[in-house]
Copies of this chain bind each other. A is one copy, B any other.
């Protein structure tokens, strides 16, 4: 059976790095790729950043590979996470040999709650002066995340939160996550999200897997990206029960878009997570190793100090797969 993968390039370098990742997937398996549009360019043409048919295709596919969207990023990616009913955003932040990093000893996977918190979308303008946002935390979503975390990291994980201030909501999150872990005999250690921000700079090696509410996961994983040398190398997976969407953490990089020199590593690493998810574990591992060895030996795109093109790097990675 040929698996169907929806491919949404989006804007900017999305149009360069997604085709690169598709050619890597083509090299390791037999997939059917179905292309759909989303982002600034589509909005300009049609008035809608996320066409209904893209949403539906992503909702029905086995998996989706997404590139990046510009100004419309939130209008595209937040509904697409809903389309795949994603309850967890998996964000590995790892420093690679050969790539300059502020903290080469960083190797952390963030498991970010992907449906609620301040992302719930309930905002009100109550008066001329005052607006509110309703931050939502449920035990059910927190427990589901915790079950995933226990499968992912049976050796234990950190739980980052701000329950000393958000006592009821982050208190609920913390209790639900540690409750599931306790039942399953998985160790957890709590850390306040502000303290985490200091400690991860001073000693990232002490953190391995970090489970967090939605916004905490957004900010703390971007912080870890800074420690490993930028967003250019970070993949991510939005996992739902029957479906999933994979995307590089970086954006459209308008400064270099169209020049053919974008670093495809983050998207190819996202494709490796897609392979893992579909059960192609060997292929996923092979792709990851090919990316890592190319990062170590070159060729390199300009963001890593080289002068290779997206295509040069992609070919080198594919060459290592044989």
Instruction: Please report A residues at the B interface, Cβ cutoff 8 Å.
Output: 73-74, 78, 102-103, 118-119, 123-125, 128-140, 162, 164-169, 171-172, 193-195, 197-202, 215, 218-220, 222-223, 225-227, 229-231
Separation of A137 and B125 alpha carbons in the complex (Å): 10
Q: Are B102 and A231 in contact (CB under 8 A)?
A: no
Q: How far is the CB of A119 from the nearest CB of chain B, in Å?
A: 6
Q: Which residue of B lies closest to A123 (CB)?
A: B168
Q: How far is the CB of A214 from the nearest CB of chain B, in Å?
A: 9
Indicate the member of A74, A125, A132 with the most B CB atoms within 10 Å: A132
Indicate the member of A103, A124, A125, A135 with the most B CB atoms within 10 Å: A135
**18 examples of A-B residue contacts, CB within 8 angstroms:** A74-B164, A74-B165, A102-B103, A102-B201, A123-B168, A125-B168, A128-B139, A130-B136, A131-B138, A132-B136, A132-B137, A133-B135, A135-B135, A162-B215, A197-B222, A197-B223, A197-B225, A223-B223
Q: Are A134 and B131 in contact (CB under 8 A)?
A: no
| 14 further interface pairs, Cβ-Cβ under 8 Å (given A130-B137, A219-B219) | A74-B165, A123-B166, A123-B167, A130-B138, A130-B139, A131-B171, A132-B137, A133-B137, A133-B168, A197-B219, A197-B225, A198-B226, A199-B226, A201-B223
Separation of A200 and B193 alpha carbons in the complex (Å): 17
Q: How far is the CB of A113 from the nearest CB of chain B, in Å?
A: 14
Q: Are A129 and B139 in contact (CB under 8 A)?
A: yes
Copies in the complex: 2
The 10 closest A-B pairs by CB, nearest first: A201-B226, A123-B168, A197-B223, A133-B135, A194-B222, A198-B226, A197-B222, A133-B169, A74-B164, A198-B222
Q: Which residue of B lies closest to A215 (CB)?
A: B162
Task: Please give, as numbers and ranges, the residues of chain B lying within 8 Å of A169 by CB-CB distance.
Answer: 123, 131-133
Task: Please give, as numbers and ranges, the residues of chain B lying within 8 Å of A103 by CB-CB distance.
Answer: 102
Q: Which residue of B lies closest to A75 (CB)?
A: B164
Q: Which residue of B lies closest to A137 (CB)?
A: B131
Q: Are A197 and B220 in contact (CB under 8 A)?
A: yes
Separation of A172 and B219 alpha carbons in the complex (Å): 21
Task: Please give, as numbers and ranges, the residues of chain B lying within 8 Å of A118 by CB-CB distance.
Answer: 118, 135, 162, 165-166
Q: How far is the CB of A43 from the nearest CB of chain B, in Å?
A: 15
Task: Please give, as numbers and ranges, the residues of chain B lying within 8 Å of A219 by CB-CB distance.
Answer: 193-194, 197, 219
Q: Which residue of B lies closest to A195 (CB)?
A: B222
Separation of A197 and B102 alpha carbons in the complex (Å): 13
Separation of A130 and B43 alpha carbons in the complex (Å): 36
Q: How far is the CB of A80 from the nearest CB of chain B, in Å?
A: 14
Separation of A100 and B123 alpha carbons in the complex (Å): 44
